[in-house]
Structure 1
Amino acid sequence: MSLLLEARNISKRFGGVQALQDVSLSIREGEIYGLIGPNGAGKTTFFNVLSGAYTADSGEFLFAGSALPAGMPHEVVQRGIARTFQNIRLFRDLTALENVMVGQHARTHAGLFGVLFQTRKVRDEEQATTQRALEWLRYVGIERFADTVSKNLSYGDQRRLEIARALATGPKLLALDEPAAGMNATETAQLRTLIEKIRGGGVSVMLIEHDVKLVMGLCDRVAVLNFGQKIAEDVPATVQRDPAVQEAYLGSSHHAA
């Protein structure tokens, strides 16, 4: 598999806190890649720098062979990287369908004139956007809630909706920030099936997750952050046996066991 994403020596500091320090990793096309570590390890900061929400102090990202723009989230999306958030960020008063339609903004072409005068081209594009949004809701299994205001959906269905909205941007890489947080065992199993389906559809996945069982059973490779530094990167079985990982993330009691 060819490389899709390369992170080269990414560093980010907030005041006296070194959130990331020379973090390098790579993700291949068609791969499910896990990023784990204890709270405060720098995982979400890494996602924020990758997505353009933060600008790295040093280092760079290469995506599909060329540099990603720093601090420009809309351009990152247009290049083919979409993400979800640790805390769900939906438009709470919009329907599920409308939320997914918003996600397609990076792939639509209507200009101000066309929108104001509702030209035929704009109407056709809006109809196509609606149809694609319905297809994404169907893809994640919540099409029956198309007309439901998102704040009225269950927690698990809100997570699915956020994934549908991200997929609507047409990504090559989908970055999921703790998608199983707050889910019960049944919802987590359904999430695993969905992520495998997404990978099967040709989209690489990068996964931050505290559910170690999910990560180790799902990911092709796993990297571990601790205090902003990468302390391990390998296939799940090898990472699990790493004493530094057991100490930093899984806990010393697990290491003793």
Structure 2
Amino acid sequence: MSAHLLLDVADVSKRFGGVRALDSVGLQVPHGAIVGLIGPNGAGKTTFFNVITGLYPADSGIFLFDGVSYFPESVSQVTKAGLARTFQNIRLFGEMSVLENVMVGCHCRSKAGLLGAIFRFPATRREEQQIQEKSLALLAYVGLSDYKDMQARNLSYGHQRRLEIARALATEPKLLALDEPAAGMNATEKLELRELLLRIRADGKTILLIEHDVSLVMGICDHLTVLDYGKVIASGKPSDVREHPEVIKAYLGQGAV
């Protein structure tokens, strides 16, 4: 395990019946980098995310996070370890306000417990105030301050994506795993997302990114890993990966080089 690696996994395999969704997949994410996981639809990218974040149990694999061996058995365990993720399909609490959605993310670090929530001790009230202040700061960070009181379901699609990122950041992650954050965005929203992701990295966070927008991943990622049929077919700098014959054949096509 290299000291500069935040996430280091190897030989990760996952079957669904007779289908091998992941076949001995390995991936490394250095501290402070943006790493892209790309490939055609059905390549196993989201399955990999689901395994490393505790949604699916792995059939096998070696998992190291920030130098410590772990096996992702539950979402809460993974979140507490410092790995947060978003989803392909937006999963906000639509009836709750934008601010409340971010506050939900903060509560994974809450110390109040059940008794504090019931009896509203002074320490609990102070913590709730701190959570609200932190959530407001995160909304400002992603550009959603003006919408804090709006129901999340009434946000535009691009703003809902930003809200998901804010909620994930509220968990205080070491690694932010984003599953197709640019999906459905127009050109302006993608540019704003690009600037946000670069700012998140500049502020010391590490990002693992699934994304089909080739220009986005090529423009911001430090390293790319490419999956096809559950196997890694290439891994390296974006400039090298885009010229890899197997990647061109399976995913990019001749016109992308």
Give the TM-score range, shorter chain: over 0.9
Q: Report the alpha carbon displacement of residue 254 of structure 1 after superposing the two structures with TM.
A: 2.7
**62, 86, 89: which is aligned to 1:87?**
89
Q: Report the alpha carbon displacement of residue 60 of structure 1 after superposing the two structures with TM.
A: 2.1
Partner of 1:43: 45
**215, 218, 225: which is aligned to 1:216?**
218
Q: Report the alpha carbon displacement of residue 194 of structure 1 after superposing the two structures with TM.
A: 0.3
Q: Where do residues 35-114 of structure 1 align in structure 2 (5 Å cutoff)?
A: 35-114=37-116
Partner of 1:248: 250
Instruction: Please give the secondary structure, in 2, of the residue aligned with 1:109.
Output: coil
**1:133 & 1:177 partners in 2: Cα distance?**
22
Instruction: Please give the secondary structure, in 2, of the residue aligned with 1:241.
Output: coil
Aligned residues: 255
- What is the one-letter code of the residue matched to 2:123? K
- What is the one-letter code of the residue matched to 1:254? G
**1:68 & 1:155 partners in 2: Cα distance?**
35
**22, 25, 28: which is aligned to 1:23?**
25
Q: Normalising to structure 1: TM-score of the pair? A: 0.97
Q: Report the alpha carbon displacement of residue 72 of structure 1 after superposing the two structures with TM.
A: 1.1
Structure 1 stretches of 4+ moved >6 Å: none
Instruction: Please give the secondary structure, in 2, of the residue aligned with 1:104.
Output: helix
**2:200 & 2:70 partners in 1: Cα distance?**
23
RMSD of the alignment, in Å?
1.1
Q: Normalising to structure 2: TM-score of the pair? A: 0.97
**1:167 & 1:195 partners in 2: Cα distance?**
12
Partner of 2:209: 207
Unaligned runs of 5+ in 1: none
**1:85 & 1:182 partners in 2: Cα distance?**
13
Q: Alpha-carbon deviations, 1:191-230, whole Å to 9, x = none? A: 0000001001111000000000100011000000000000
- What is the one-letter code of the residue matched to 2:88? Q
Identity %: 56
**1:199 & 1:66 partners in 2: Cα distance?**
22
- What is the one-letter code of the residue matched to 1:100? V
Q: Where do residues 91-240 of structure 1 align in structure 2 (5 Å cutoff)?
A: 91-240=93-242
